[in-house]
Structure 1
């Protein structure tokens, strides 16, 4: 490289030795020659193994981001350094360093970005948790016939301002960078200094960007935490304690109050990011003031209030050695079964099951691989025997594997949960029920990641190599093969996606994923149906498709009508935070139902899960129907107009400079994915604009009013709002013209001796909504 090489020095460290302290000024960087280093601090923790670098990721901030501590006896070689440019001198020491260092930086970015995503999830989680516990506090007060106090901190709480968090780094890029063989990276980055330094600087910029965003979110989390517990009176803990002291003085039972306090304590102690030093002091003080004899930690007493002793005893007997029951039922190879048990034992002993270290990641992958193999065997066995067994159903529907992995209360709730089996027009299935639909030939398997369905894969096979008529017939009639196709191509991927924990996903149900009662997490079919109905009370045309209709026997030759096509909803057996729009149609025909996947257990409401899903559906169904013209502005559609708006917003004179800057930030947050920009606007449209709260710019609002119009009732309410009045007036004129045209067409049908069918009546009624 033509530079003076930096002198390399070595340092041998005993286990536990501090290498660099979090926040201290960077004076050197190190390469781990032997052993491993634990990085921990405000930005999470991870293990950095042999061959990786310490300090270069941090260099962009000028300070060490973590406490770097020798995880075992460790040997490092280190270089004194002051600026990013000094990195070039380090590179001169060895041609393998550039690739090795960038590979290490990529791994550390995955860890940092993963921790940030978890923290962002926590900011929403703690906000919802505080409000839920506040509502529970009011219910408890009502139960004790006491007046609840107003907690100003909670009343004033607002969700975190997403616009203040700008993170443009692409996590998928670093995940894929990590997949490239190290030797390839060494050769590539050693070949060009400019490319190597540009990559390093970009990673450092992203790291700086994430740490700044991290500080914003952590400050918000700890501000919300004060509404849960603090040393003053304006928080939930103190108000619950105040109520407990009052009830206890009159010898009342404070078990309900304690359950709320314990729920707060459990939530906080499970989240390392939340500052919690005052919590044990407050809990200890609370316990000392309660009269002796109040058995606060007796979970048994709480269980007996909900279940009979016979139910508790029966559940314990039923669930005893659940894992052995599942493995025996599956008839999996004993060696594999023993490995699965071994992996789960190690997993259950982990202090942090969401760690991003290589060792824990390998463990989760090993568990996941065997889980799906066992799942497939268990499903086929359950269909062959046709015998309902609670533990087997819990495994298939919730991912339950072992009674040790859940609390006794959660176990009882799962066993005695009464599922909602009422018939509904909405096709909603648990994973077991959905696989049964395919097994019994009532549904076709879903598409795979390459957008090919079961028949599409056969066509590809026929293109690439000869498939005999007998092989084709066997493939088409292979019911077991269809189920395996669904498990491999949809279930495995959708299960991970809906978990919301792409980097730390493990498919087994574990109490560490759930705070409090499991029955509050179960997504009930009735609640999902209600969420769909509520969405359609705003966006009434959401699930309608335009189709060509004719009935020569009734004198109808050609009419375009709106047909309602409700989506299929499949509940993945996981504890998750996201829904996914898996495919916008179920087949080649445009009037087949979409397929959505949701987690069966989630702290999110069905409305929150579905609003993101239907936003993506809105985009993808339009793109599907428009085909190659989806972005062609000469063919007016939702996607073409929105694509044109985003692509040319900088030149749009109807958009102010301030709004253009906001759009630029939104595009950056969506990583230049136009669909995701639309989804965020759609969410604003449903949640806020429908109530008259202006959140969108004029151009976006016009597009959404055109293609995702509000119901007549909402339009009437918004007609006097300046931001909506002109748009609604124009929409109503166009709608009136459309209705008039349809009515004239129906008059022509009648005059020709035809008959207006229910389909035509429903179509006219649709436009009058």
Structure 2
């Protein structure tokens, strides 16, 4: 015999392992589980292994339910069970009582599993008849599912009412009396109880395994019918709802989503179990190990199902409303979401209006654009885009050259790459509370009325328009072109490239500027993310995202010299200002102290300081409310100049008048140079003026 200790969650035995040892639980507890519905607790005194004969294989996993101490011994013959009890006379009564209670617990699990199996058969038969009726309603010919038609319902084994079951219950009910007047009389009584419990447990376990196998085979065999049933049910529900604005009574949404996705039975069962456990949890923000494990399992299952459902949706002309709610909001269960919230989500999804420019899109529509080849996947956490990722995989030998060539234009692989990388990270980041994040819609996350925090494409567009109405050049980039026909070797013009705004399916509080360009070309759109239900002020969040874009885009253009003040730019001048603010004669002692405190608060992150100043510049300074010091104001006005309307309004302000005069001199010179180019081109060929020159003149009038 030897004592062993295992930590909570550690696996003692796995299903399929050979039975070679017995373990007595001295402290803590184990769980006999199949990973889903069977969870039998082995408390102090219980013996793991007695439900099997030596050399058999474990039918279930045995996992530590908490930190546990066990007494382990070899198990070569059934007599080793007797030796184990006799060898521990001090705790023999506890072992006897615990093993009989273990047999009763296995019986309870068998009874519950048998009831569930019988109910499953009844539901399949009922739903099959309902399926045929609904097909008639749709005017369609019902498909024939032989498995369901010929399904023989499970019959109870009768063990629940057998003498063994009665004996187990009697031992458990009379434990107090047995502890006082039976077990202590002689260790032989304990041996007899343990051996009898061992025999009964083995019988119950074998029947439990048989029922579980039946359930698994039934679900597997009926999978195609379940998918067809929910597809037809969804169509009938849609027809019944018609054009009515009344929210329907949504039931069994999770079953609908799982059936539509077509994920394997193990994934579906695990996710269903996790959703049920999460729903039953009173405090879903708890940070215990159990909740961390549950959140991780929920997230893994969610993204597997999301990917499977997305690819399935490409081959169907009908998306059930529950699946559309799943794609847009992460909705999986009406109980978890709450009845009132479910109704609001339904109303939102049926009234959803896409962005006319297709720049502000839901996550589903974004993945659809990637699949159709209309957009490239976002960069991963290592800042590698799709093609860089393939090159890295090729370099490390993870894929061959032939595989790399085949994947170059494989849009399905691109979508999978996007879900594995950007979606999993950005969904959590936009949520805002990383430690308690789960990707499924949860009523406890609703901190504001949903109607007021919906970030619809129209609302997001309006928020961005407010910024660009002030900082008109925010999304313009300088671009080089040449016109050999007009002997113009290079011409720099500004082109506006609006970003993609991806609405992540969560209730969150943060916006995210994921990348400023795609690949290496500067004329490609940025990728930004924001929660589809945004609990904070949307205008403030958009301003912050634009500020971050401004900084990152300047760094991209300047390259390694982004902080070199000898090449004037937004980042270099701001870095120089913050590095040497103590020596700046334009700043008072009070302002220098404020800058010092700001740097400490931002941990010397110059970008954070700039973003805060940019927010004041857009939301306060633009409307005549000074919030910046002289140096910061000068840099921001130089590189983030106000549009014509706001220049006119601030032109008489003594704080902006000298800045305006300097800007006008430089601007007029630039207009003059472009005008000279235009005249040259018109003299050579007035009917073939390049559009880029006309666009630049138009830009300079903003």
Interval of TM-score (by shorter of Structure 1 and Structure 2): 0.5 to 0.7
Q: Does 1:431 align with 2:363?
A: yes
SS of the residue corresponding to residue 505 of structure 2 reads: strand
Aligned to 1:760: 693
CA distance in 2, matches of 1:441, 1:496: 26
Higher alpha-carbon deviation: 604-613 or 628-637: 604-613
Pair 308,478 (structure 1): closer, same or farther in 2 beyond 3 Å: closer
Can you give the 5+ residue segments of structure 2 that lack an aligned partner in the other structure? 1-26, 29-65, 68-239
Higher alpha-carbon deviation: 698-707 or 325-334: 325-334
Give the deviation of 1:312 after TM superposition: 8.8
Aligned to 1:684: 616
Give the deviation of 1:604 after TM superposition: 3.1
- 8 A contact 1:426–1:566 mirrored in 2: no
SS of the residue corresponding to residue 655 of structure 2 reads: helix
Aligned to 2:184: none
- 8 A contact 1:312–1:412 mirrored in 2: no
Match of 2:248 among 307, 315, 318: 315
Give the deviation of 1:516 after TM superposition: 5.6
- 8 A contact 1:547–1:560 mirrored in 2: yes
Can you give the 5+ residue segments of structure 1 that lack an aligned partner in the other structure? 1-33, 36-71, 74-306
- 8 A contact 2:651–2:660 mirrored in 1: yes
Give the deviation of 1:310 after TM superposition: 10
Give the deviation of 1:654 after TM superposition: 1.6
Matched ranges for 1:546-695 at <5 A: 546-552=478-484, 557-695=489-627
Aligned to 1:543: 475
Q: Please, what TM-score do these two structures have when normalized by structure 1?
A: 0.58
CA distance in 1, matches of 2:314, 2:664: 54
- 8 A contact 2:362–2:503 mirrored in 1: yes
Q: Does 1:750 align with 2:682?
A: yes
Give the deviation of 1:424 after TM superposition: 2.5
Count residues in correspondence.
Answer: 465
Q: Please, what TM-score do these two structures have when normalized by structure 2?
A: 0.63
SS of the residue corresponding to residue 722 of structure 1 reads: coil
Q: Does 1:421 align with 2:366?
A: no
Higher alpha-carbon deviation: 549-558 or 345-354: 549-558
Q: Does 1:726 align with 2:658?
A: yes
Give the deviation of 1:468 after TM superposition: 3.7
Give the deviation of 1:361 after TM superposition: 2.3
Q: CA RMSD in A?
A: 2.5
CA distance in 2, matches of 1:477, 1:758: 32
Give the deviation of 1:737 after TM superposition: 1.8
What does the per-residue CA deviation read over 1:252-308, in whole Å, with 9 as the maximum and x for residues that have no partner?
xxxxxxxxxxxxxxxxxxxxxxxxxxxxxxxxxxxxxxxxxxxxxxxxxxxxxxx99
Higher alpha-carbon deviation: 470-479 or 718-727: 470-479
CA distance in 1, matches of 2:258, 2:271: 9
Pair 752,462 (structure 1): closer, same or farther in 2 beyond 3 Å: same
Q: Does 1:399 align with 2:330?
A: yes
SS of the residue corresponding to residue 492 of structure 2 reads: strand
CA distance in 2, matches of 1:486, 1:391: 23
Match of 1:383 among 314, 323, 336: 314
- 8 A contact 2:574–2:610 mirrored in 1: yes
Give the deviation of 1:565 after TM superposition: 0.6
CA distance in 2, matches of 1:394, 1:470: 39
Pair 656,426 (structure 1): closer, same or farther in 2 beyond 3 Å: farther
Aligned to 2:97: none
Give the deviation of 1:380 after TM superposition: 1.1
- 8 A contact 1:555–1:753 mirrored in 2: no
Aligned to 1:3: none
SS of the residue corresponding to residue 635 of structure 2 reads: helix
What does the per-residue CA deviation read over 1:29-67, in whole Å, with 9 as the maximum and x for residues that have no partner?
xxxxx99xxxxxxxxxxxxxxxxxxxxxxxxxxxxxxxx
What does the per-residue CA deviation read over 1:74-114, in whole Å, with 9 as the maximum and x for residues that have no partner?
xxxxxxxxxxxxxxxxxxxxxxxxxxxxxxxxxxxxxxxxx
Higher alpha-carbon deviation: 354-363 or 483-492: 354-363
